[in-house]
Amino acid sequence: MNYIFLGMPGSGKGTQVELLVKKLNIPMISTGNLFRKNIKNETKLGLKVKDILEKGDLVPDKVTFEMMSAEIKNMDISQGLILDGYPRSLRQAELLKDILNIDIILNIELSEDQVLLRIGGRRTCKCGETYHLKFNPPQKEGVCDKCGQELYIRDDAQEETIKNRIKVYKEQTEPLIKYYGDKVINIDGNPSIPEVTEEIFRKLGISD
């Protein structure tokens, strides 16, 4: 089975994807994480997309699709794949259709007020783990539980940028919910992290 996660910035996609990956033992691709890795390593792609991410705009569809499809080619996806942050536009969904069949779309629903709270307190690790100062703090302040590296605040966490990311989401990504129709499973993103996970597992028919 191949899965897509949709939802506003900060709705909890990355957090839940990590937990589903552990449960199903299948690989995942996060286009946001891939872009941030390229920016950190100052690759050609990284230099090209740095300003776009800082503003909270979308990287052009073709550039994103090429990065994502190159990643898929190097993976064993015979047992399935989870996509976090792709597709984000109708054009990206059309490009994806030619290389991968999507079975289920998990759409995490959360209000804008909550989004601001969530992103405001987020701390991120280069390894991909995500924490929250209040809702999911690391055992030791400022340090990743999983790998011991120092946690950081993402460059796109400024209020202006968050507002733009929400606007971009509504204009370009939200139409995908209609596009995927019956394949969409809505998830209430408001409860605690384990409660949201439980709802996802229950709706997917996976036992704890």
Instruction: Find all residues with CB under 8 Å of 108, minimum gap 6, and list them.
Output: 5, 6, 7, 8, 11, 12, 13, 16, 187, 189, 196
Query: Can 13 be counted among the known catalytic residues?
Result: yes
Q: Which of residues 12-51 bind Mg ion (CB under 5 A)?
A: 14
In the list 38, 82, 92, 95, the residue contacting ligand AP5 (rule: CB under 6 A) is 92
Q: Which two tokens stand for residue 33?
A: 């994480």
In the list 106, 125, 131, 187, the residue contacting ligand AP5 (rule: CB under 6 A) is 131
In the list 38, 129, 130, 176, the residue contacting ligand AP5 (rule: CB under 6 A) is 130
Among the options 50, 91, 154, 163, which is catalytic? Answer: 154
Query: Can 165 be counted among the known catalytic residues?
Result: yes
Q: Where are the beta strands (DSSP E) in 39-141?
A: 81-84, 104-109, 122-124, 130-132
Q: How far apart are CA 6 and CA 29, in angstroms?
A: 13
Q: Which two tokens stand for residue 70?
A: 């190159």
Q: Taking the complex as a whole, how short is the minimal distance between the CB of residue 78 and Mg ion, in angstroms?
A: 25
Q: Taking the complex as a whole, how short is the minimal distance between the CB of residue 208 and Zn ion, in angstroms?
A: 25
Q: How far apart are CA 104 and CA 95, in angstroms?
A: 17
Q: How far apart are CA 137 and CA 101, in angstroms?
A: 36
The residue at minimum Cβ distance from Mg ion is: 14
- Residue 26 or 67 with smaller CB distance to ligand AP5: 67
Query: Can 122 be counted among the known catalytic residues?
Result: yes
Consecutive H or E run containing 160: helix 159-168
- Does 180 contact ligand AP5 by CB under 6 A? no
27 phi and psi, to 5 degrees?
Answer: -75, 165
- Does 128 contact ligand AP5 by CB under 6 A? no
Binding site for ligand AP5 (CB under 6 A): 7, 9-15, 31-32, 35, 52-53, 56-59, 64, 85-88, 92, 118-119, 121-122, 130-132, 135-136, 156, 165, 192-193, 196
Residues labelled as active-site residues: 13, 88, 122, 154, 165
